[in-house]
Chains A and B, each alone.
Chain A
Amino acid sequence: MLEFICRRILSLFPVILGLLVLTYALLYLAPSDPATILAGENASVEDIQAVRKEYGLDRPVYVQFGMYLKQVSVGNLGVSMYSNRPVLEDIAQRLPATIELALVSLVLMAIGGITLGTMGAVWHNSPIDHVTRMISVAGLAIATFWLAIMLQLVFAMVLGWFPVRGRIPPEMVPPVQITGLYLLDSILTLNFSAFRDAVRHITLPAITLAFGGLATVARFTRSSMLENLTKEYVSYQHATGVPFRRIIVPYVLRNSVITAVTQLGLLFGSLISGAVVVEMIFDWPGIGSYLVNAIFTSDYKVILAVTIVVGVIYALVNIIVDVIHAMIDPRLR
């Protein structure tokens, strides 16, 4: 198992290199010129030239890329061309917010999707199944931004159950940073009022982000469970007197969540990219809104850095998924 994990981690490096090359090439080919933007609106041609020289933008692209690689390899993601702050520092500050949002959504997706899928399969073709199928179709069909605005409208503005935006109330001091995840930090520091506020703030964005994935997980769990219910081991256990509910949980369920776990791993990537929209709408101070700002300002150091970080997280999550897979299914070990 350890060897398996090490091998997977080593395989990360070519992935990251490929990611860097691709992103760099895309940025280079994009029509916007960072030097022009940096120099400001009223800059003369000479000013722009000067900026270009200062940032090394006049050198051949492979030299620029080589310099960048050298920096990255020692953990230096560069300085934002827009705010002049070190990119790594900004990311370190904002990443926990996105991770927290993605993790809560992942949990909602896993629990909600697997529960709905299981119910749909156990009560196959009953009203319960129809409702779960309707939720799945809705989850795939409804656009994230529309759902976000509707949730804000109904639950935040009309009913007032949840705040419209933000991560904690503006007047409140964030809990002492341990992990950077407010939910975890507030519990670790026994700050329960902060915990309650953090839960209230994360609820709507997390539901928005989770809904589409939840539908996918529910569909995969349902069809996989329906298939597993026809398996010989189910009728064997039934024939030996094991009650039906025991056959479902854990025996059939464990076989059925194998596909759902794969889906969860793939969906985590879409959670991070989906966070871009959700973070903008809910004013969530995460890496998604940071990336959007960087794109608007052609801050290519930031764009590259965020791409690397998201790529690494995605690859790591998929290693974790493989490990969980091997834990669930002994045949893969």
Chain B
Amino acid sequence: MKDTLPLLSVRNLQLVIPTDEGTAKILDRVTFEVAEGEVVGLVGESGCGKSTLIKAILGILPNQAEIVSGEIKFGGLDLLGSATRRTWHAAKDIGFIPQDPFTALNPVFKVGVQMMEILRWSGLPGEPPGYIGGNTRQRHREHLIKMLKAVQIPDPEDAFERYPHQFSGGQRQRILIASALSSRPKLIVADEPTTALDVTTQREILILLRELIEDDKTSMLLVTHDFGVVAQMCDSVSVMYAGQTMENGTAKDIIHTPIHPYTKRLLACHPELSDEIVGIPGTVPSPIFAPPGCRFGPRCTSCRPACSEQRPPLMKPVGGQRDVACVLLDQGVRV
């Protein structure tokens, strides 16, 4: 990663949610960074805490969630400082693209109304959020129609007055992308933005997204479970398993020379990135009954007795540009 101060940095984030059956250790020392203008892929199977991590970054954690340790910094601002409330600063500078375009839009309000509402509370650059006086509304409207044009929605003026069900899934995702980019945020958080779409639409949406953020040098945190998407989109990758960061590095390094056994196994699940397809036996452990030490241990073919005692810390291999948390890496610098 780069030497300059990262735009978003998550360090040693440990988060638990108490439940009736016991404390769920959802995130266990998650660490990664997003530099300015960088696209970082956050990869992991379902149930590994990706969604909770996003909620923590966006400041919409459920009330029961407890941060045990760690920090999330965004452009020098402590995002965990204001409890679970998202700060205005973050609303303005972090755009969000949700997973499912079919359910993210309110069915009984016009698309334009909903886009206006979101832009109202983030504001255009230089505008205080929530303010709608003077000709702000008119300005927002014009800006949003321009955004709809940018995401290739046909006849944007007319689209503004239509309802979500009158658009296809791909078009709805374009609308959500336009909305996320409308306040010109520094960072886009995209939660599996193409999972709900069919394959051909997926490609189009990803290409469009890539173009749009390259124009503005916007950073992006792209959550996905698909290494194919990572190869196409990302500069760097952070691999998570059951709430633990396993390996961080550049997309090239991770895809071509993975170190962590989990990364290797995950890559092996992808036909286009691997010669033979092999699944990973077993399932992600429940965060309540997570094994001590490395949580991938029970499914790992290289597992050693030490793995189940204490989790190996994230280390930088000598001369390497990445972080790995695995006993296989015995030489390195602690991150």
List residues of chain A with CB under 8 Å of any chain B CB: 231-233, 235-243, 246, 250-251, 254-255, 258, 328-331
A331 contacts B103, C-beta separation under 8 Å? no
B104 within 8 A of A: yes
A232 contacts B100, C-beta separation under 8 Å? yes
A331 contacts B107, C-beta separation under 8 Å? yes
Cβ contacts under 8 Å, A243 to chain B: 121, 130
Cβ contacts under 8 Å, B88 to chain A: 241
B117 within 8 A of A: yes
> Assuming A329-B107, A331-B165, is B98 touching A239 (CB within 8 A)?
yes
| A240 CB, nearest partner CB in chain B, Å | 5
* Residues 103 to 158 of chain B near chain A (Cβ within 8 Å): 103-109, 114, 117-118, 121-122, 129-130
A240 contacts B96, C-beta separation under 8 Å? yes
> Assuming A241-B86, A331-B107, is B165 touching A235 (CB within 8 A)?
no
**Between-chain CB contacts (< 8 Å), 22 pairs:** A232-B103, A233-B104, A235-B60, A236-B98, A237-B106, A237-B118, A239-B96, A240-B121, A240-B122, A241-B88, A241-B118, A241-B121, A241-B129, A242-B118, A250-B109, A251-B106, A251-B117, A255-B108, A329-B107, A329-B108, A330-B163, A331-B108
The CA-CA distance from A172 to B104 in the complex, in Å, is 59
Cβ contacts under 8 Å, A232 to chain B: 98, 100, 103-104
B42 within 8 A of A: no
B230 within 8 A of A: no
Cβ contacts under 8 Å, B104 to chain A: 232-233, 236
The CA-CA distance from A233 to B109 in the complex, in Å, is 11
Besides the contacts A236-B105, A240-B122, A240-B179, what 20 more A-B pairs have beta carbons closer than 8 Å?
A: A231-B103, A232-B103, A232-B104, A236-B96, A236-B104, A239-B58, A239-B60, A239-B96, A239-B98, A240-B121, A241-B88, A241-B92, A241-B129, A242-B118, A242-B121, A251-B106, A255-B106, A255-B108, A330-B107, A331-B163
B220 within 8 A of A: no
Q: How large is the interface on B (under 10, 10 to 19, 20 to 34, 35 or more residues)?
A: 20 to 34
10 A-B pairs with the lowest CB-CB distances in the bound complex, closest first:
A241-B91, A232-B103, A236-B104, A330-B163, A233-B106, A240-B118, A241-B121, A239-B96, A239-B58, A236-B98
Residue among A241, A242, A254, A255 having the largest count of chain B Cβ atoms under 10 Å = A241
Cβ contacts under 8 Å, B122 to chain A: 240-241
> Assuming A254-B109, A329-B108, A330-B165, is B103 touching A242 (CB within 8 A)?
no
The CA-CA distance from A254 to B109 in the complex, in Å, is 9
The CA-CA distance from A242 to B103 in the complex, in Å, is 17
| A88 CB, nearest partner CB in chain B, Å | 42
The CA-CA distance from A233 to B100 in the complex, in Å, is 10
| A108 CB, nearest partner CB in chain B, Å | 25
| A327 CB, nearest partner CB in chain B, Å | 10
A238 contacts B165, C-beta separation under 8 Å? no
| A241 CB, nearest partner CB in chain B, Å | 3
| A326 CB, nearest partner CB in chain B, Å | 11
Cβ contacts under 8 Å, A250 to chain B: 109
The CA-CA distance from A272 to B67 in the complex, in Å, is 58
* Residues 168 to 214 of chain B near chain A (Cβ within 8 Å): 179-180
